[in-house]
Amino acid sequence: MLISVVGPTAIGKTRLAITLANQYDTEIISADSRQFYKELHIGTAVPSIEELNAAPHHFIQNKSIYDHYSVGDFEKEAMVLLANLFETHDKVILVGGSGLFVDAVTKGMDDFPDVPSHFRDDLNKTLEKKGIDVLQDRLKHLDKDYYNKVDLENPHRLIRALEICLSTGKPYSSFLSKKTIKRPFHTITIGLTADREIIYERINQRVDDMIANGLLEEAQKVYPHKELNALQTVGYRELFNYFDGKWTLDFAIAEIKKNTRRFAKRQLTWFKKNTDIMWFDIDDDPLKIIKEVDKMIITLTNE
């Protein structure tokens, strides 16, 4: 049985995942695409030492920003790990806000056509010369559905979607969920949410905490490698603009908060489309959540 914990950033998924792991005496697989990289700690909200010690975690800071690591790579490695974990555990916890990576494990990857390299080369040149706004506008025109749920501050994701749109003449989203893969395990998905104002307050506070805890210094260390795909993410790109002299520090921090709020909205849009998710408020008693999970486990076990 795979128990997946999803929800927007800063909602408290790690805390709940640890509670569930302790309840079921099992281990946690992280599906947070930002937490894979060992050079990034503060800006990706990696679990604390205390949290990591509270339950076994996997896929936390296990890669380098210099590694090429795709969602397909993650799916393959996660499935191998799950097979091993299920030999000694009846249940395993999956946690993360990266919808694409969660779906890769629970539903499998979609099939995409091969794309001639010149499409990507042209898009990378457009990004370099005209900026990310042009890519965002182009995706909005070609595939509004995917535009509404993708991380618009991630040029790698934008370029991937656009190269499919341009090479096939079809929306990127039309290739999503074309096949159903039967996994050798049942999945229960728990969603954590809250009123939008509360989510935004938590995000703003988290960004302030990150700055206080040294995010500026962390971003400065990786700044010489700012073109790497792993660094095309909220919290770093904005500070790179500050280092480049384009923005003031105060403006960069405000942009981190704004872009993180936008990201949280897109996360919710993505997860809300999954009608199988059992949603809970962040203030719900964990015992209530465990009780509902137990009910679902009995139901699925008896099917």
**Amino acid residing at 294:** D
Asked if 282 contacts 193 with a C-beta cutoff of 8 angstroms, the reply is yes
β-pairing, 92-95 with 28-30?
parallel
Structure tokens at 203: 């995000």
Asked if 27 contacts 55 with a C-beta cutoff of 8 angstroms, the reply is yes
Q: Measured between alpha carbons, how far is 104 from 100 in angstroms, rounded to an integer?
A: 6
Report whether 126 belongs to an annotated binding site.
Answer: no
- What's the distance, CA 63 to chain centroid? 15
Report whether 7 belongs to an annotated binding site.
Answer: yes
Asked if 107 contacts 117 with a C-beta cutoff of 8 angstroms, the reply is no
Torsion angle defined by CA atoms of residues 9, 164, 36 and 181, in that order, rounded to the nearest 10 degrees: 90
Helix axes 99-106, 71-85, angle to 10 degrees: 50
Residue 128 CB coordination number (10 Å): 10
Q: Measured between alpha carbons, how far is 48 from 138 in angstroms, rounded to an integer?
A: 39
Structure tokens at 283: 């203030």
Report whether 8 belongs to an annotated binding site.
Answer: yes
Measured on CA atoms in the order 56, 82, 72, 165, is the torsion positive or negative?
Answer: negative
Report whether 9 belongs to an annotated binding site.
Answer: yes
Binding residues for substrate: 9-14
Instruction: Give the annotated binding-site residues.
Output: 7-14
Binding residues for ATP: 7-14
